[in-house]
Amino acid sequence: MDNILDIKELGKMIDEIETAANGLIEKAQGIQAIERNAERILASTTMLKINVSDLID
Amino acid sequence: MFPKSDRFWNPLLETLPREKIRELQVKKFRRIMKWAFEHSKFHHQLYKDAGMEPGDVKTLEDIARVPKVEKSMMRGIQKKDPYPYGDMLCVPLEDVTEFRQTSGTTGQPVYQPDTWQDWEWWAEAWAYILYSQGYRKSDRVFIPFGYNIFVAFWAGHYGAEKLGCEVVPGGVLNTEARLLKMQELRATATMATPTYILGMADIARKKLGIDPATDLNIQKITCAGEPGASIPSTKKRMEEAWGAKVYDHIGATEIGAWSYECEEQPGGLHVNEGLFLVQIEDVETGEIIEEPNKRGKMVITAFDRLAQPCIRFDSKDIIMWHEQECPCGRTFRMIKGGVVGRADDITKVKGVLLAPTAIEEAVRGVPELGDEYEVTVTKRGDTDDISLKVELQTEAENLKEKVLAKLNDQLRLKTNLRYNISFHPYGSLPRYDVKAKRFKDLRKDH
């Protein structure tokens, strides 16, 4: 395991996942198969934020 | 920088320097308080009445001034709109995906709504627990429990899945069938209450002729629901019976899975301080206790649970900080010996404060006795009377007097009280699958 970890970079990538999932919901035009799965991505993204992004000042 | 090690689920959080943990906790407390203030009528009113707003919280000392929430308050608002949760609910009702309720041990059950994100959070908290206890992708985890409206082991199941374990739900099978399935599948880990772990071992030996320590492949056991895995004599019995490491964890429906014993088994449990803030209050004065080895009542906050937040919840659990740091390298503080009692459980008998866990420690410390026992406190005139029923192991029937002397010594040492002890045939006292009720206080004024 490399212990030089750029958590700011990780935080940025997590934000990008969140933006992409929200984008999917916006453009889904009500298709539940897209909206609900994107909601699940957002729930998992929140766990990444709890584990990583919250540590960024 | 963080340690190069595969022993942490998240080394970024679990090895964070203490001052950074404190900063993070204040930041996260303010965030969940703001969320509740803006989304829950109950919390909004609670904080308004106290003259506080989330922006007022800048330090841990400020947090200690935020009003507490008691279970009775939660019961008071439930069954109202939005039905059945009442106005502590912070999300639209249609966003709730999970219903659970407390067991009702101390009164009317409390209902707990969770969104899918909250449920992910439950599994995340359990991932911390299981990873610290050595669970890995290669484990096959057998859960001998009938899932239902209680949260017990649901989250353990999802947490184990999150780690990549293979999970076997052993729900509707009876105990014999569960044991045989564990044996057939060569399950490597299991989760249950201490009572059921001991009960399963007993049935394996006596009804199936299986010795769990040698005939099964269970290497790790995670306990929940009762304090047994933090009571040394009960833990020893379980570890010997199964030939496995036994770990404790503590959680609650209305809180989450907030604490875990790691592989080092350091005589205490880590508080997951990345997800929770635990404060220990002096029961008499309400002062926050920071020094180790001083018992007090736990007030707890879950930072990331959104549907029905848990903020400064007065759990009534009696705990104390451990004086040591854990050799595992986690910087999360430890509580010593798990939950050592409940504020409404610790009772005065003959003028002496008695925690029922101390009786368990004494009984289970006598190897000639069975696992089950029953304590009843009554009043005879003005005097308290405690009777204790125990079972002698069949092979120890000729040793009654010796065992009685040993048990009396243990009880005096651990509880400083005298008991009317009676011996009962092995297998005659009630057996429990989930939460055991071995302590009965029948005095009228209790």
Domains annotated for chain B, with CATH where assigned, are 347-441 (3.30.300.30)
Which sign does the torsion angle of CA B355, B359, B364, B365 carry?
A: positive
Strands (E) in B214-282, as ranges, are 220-223, 245-252, 256-260, 268-271, 276-281
Question: Is A50 inside a domain boundary?
Answer: yes
Residue at A8 is within a domain: no
- Give the pair of three-digit tokens for residue B156: 């353990």
Asked if residue A22 belongs to a domain, the reply is: no
State the nearest Cα–Cα gap between A20 and chain B, in angstroms.
17
pLDDT in tens, chain B (446 residues): 667 679 999 999 999 999 999 999 999 999 999 999 999 999 999 999 999 999 999 999 999 999 999 988 998 888 789 999 999 999 999 999 999 998 776 678 899 999 999 999 999 999 999 999 999 999 999 999 888 888 889 999 999 999 999 999 998 899 999 999 999 999 999 999 999 999 999 999 999 999 999 999 999 999 998 888 999 999 999 999 999 999 999 999 999 999 999 999 999 999 999 999 999 999 889 999 999 999 999 999 999 999 999 999 999 899 999 999 999 999 999 999 999 888 777 777 887 778 788 888 899 989 999 989 999 999 887 788 899 999 998 888 889 899 999 999 989 888 888 899 999 988 899 887 667 788 888 886 54
- Taking each helix axis as running N to C, give the angle between helix B116-132 and helix B154-163, from 0 to 180 degrees, rounded to the nearest 10: 70
| Closest residue in chain B to residue A48, using alpha carbons only | B124
CB contact under 8 A, A43 and B120: yes
Residue B215 backbone dihedrals phi, psi, to 5 degrees: -95, -10
Residues in chain A with CB shorter than 8 Å from the CB of B115 are 43
Question: Is A16 among the domain residues?
Answer: no
DSSP letter string, B282-343: -TTT-PBP-STT--EEEEEEESS--SS---SEEEEEEE-B-SS--TT---S-EEETS--EET
List, in order, residues 6 or more apart from B259 with CB less than 8 Å away.
B249, B250, B251, B269, B270, B271, B272, B278, B335, B338
| Nearest-CA distance B224 → chain A (Å) | 24
Q: What are the Cα distances from residue B15, in Å, to A12, B136, B258, B270, B277?
A: 22, 20, 17, 12, 16
Q: Are B319 and B339 in contact (CB under 8 A)?
A: yes
Partners of residue A4 in chain B, C-beta under 8 Å: 1
Task: Compute the half-sphere exposure of residue B60: CA atoms within 13 Å on the CB side of its CA.
Answer: 17
Of B2, B5, B28, which is closest to A54 when you measure between CB atoms? B28
User: Are A50 and B120 a contacting pair at CB < 8 A?
Assistant: no
The answer to whether the Cβ–Cβ distance between A1 and B4 falls below 8 Å is yes
**What residues in A contact B1, CB-CB < 8 Å?**
3-4
Which residue is closest to B117 within chain A, CA to CA? A43
Residue A32 lies in a domain: yes
Give the count of beta carbons closer than 10 Å to the beta carbon of residue B174.
10
Q: Do A44 and B304 touch (CB under 8 A)?
A: no
**8 Å CB contact between B213 and B243:** yes
In this complex, the residue of A40, A42, A51 whose CB is nearest that of residue B10 is A51
Q: What is the pTM of this model?
A: 0.88
Looking from the CA of B63 toward its CB, the CA atoms found within 13 Å total 28
CB B363 within 8 A of CB B334: no
Residues of A with CB under 8 A from a CB of B: 1, 3-5, 7, 39-40, 42-44, 46-47, 50-52, 54-55
* Complex-level ipTM: 0.95
pLDDT in tens, A30-54: 999 999 999 999 999 999 999 999 9
Let me know if residue A12 belongs to a domain.
Answer: no
The residue whose two tokens read 């990008």 is: A16
B-chain residue closest to A44, CA distance: B120
Omega prior to B84 cis, within 30 of 0: yes
Residue B374, phi then psi, degrees to nearest 5 = -145, 130
Which chain B residues are Cβ-neighbours of A5 within 8 angstroms? 2, 12
Q: Tell me, yes or no, whether A54 lies in a domain.
A: yes
- Is A33 among the domain residues? yes
Q: Are B279 and B64 in contact (CB under 8 A)?
A: yes
Please state the φ and ψ torsions of residue B114, each to the nearest 5 degrees.
Answer: -135, 145
Give the Cα separation of B250 and B256 in Å (integer).
9
Q: How many helices (H) and strands (E) does chain A have?
A: 2, 0
Element (H, E) at B381: none
Measured between beta carbons, the chain B residues lying within 8 angstroms of A42 are 117
CB contact (8 A) between residue B16 and residue A55: yes
Residue A44: give the domain boundaries. Answer: 27-57
Select the residue of B6, B12, B117 nearest A55 (Cβ to Cβ). B12
> How far off is chain B from A10, nearest CA to CA, in Å?
12
Distance from CA of B219 to the nearest CA of A (A): 27
Least CB-CB distance to A46: which of B1, B13, B117? B117
Give the helix/strand (H/E) hosting B352. Answer: strand B352-354
Number of domains in chain A: 1
Distance from the Cα of A5 to chain B's closest Cα (Å) equals 7
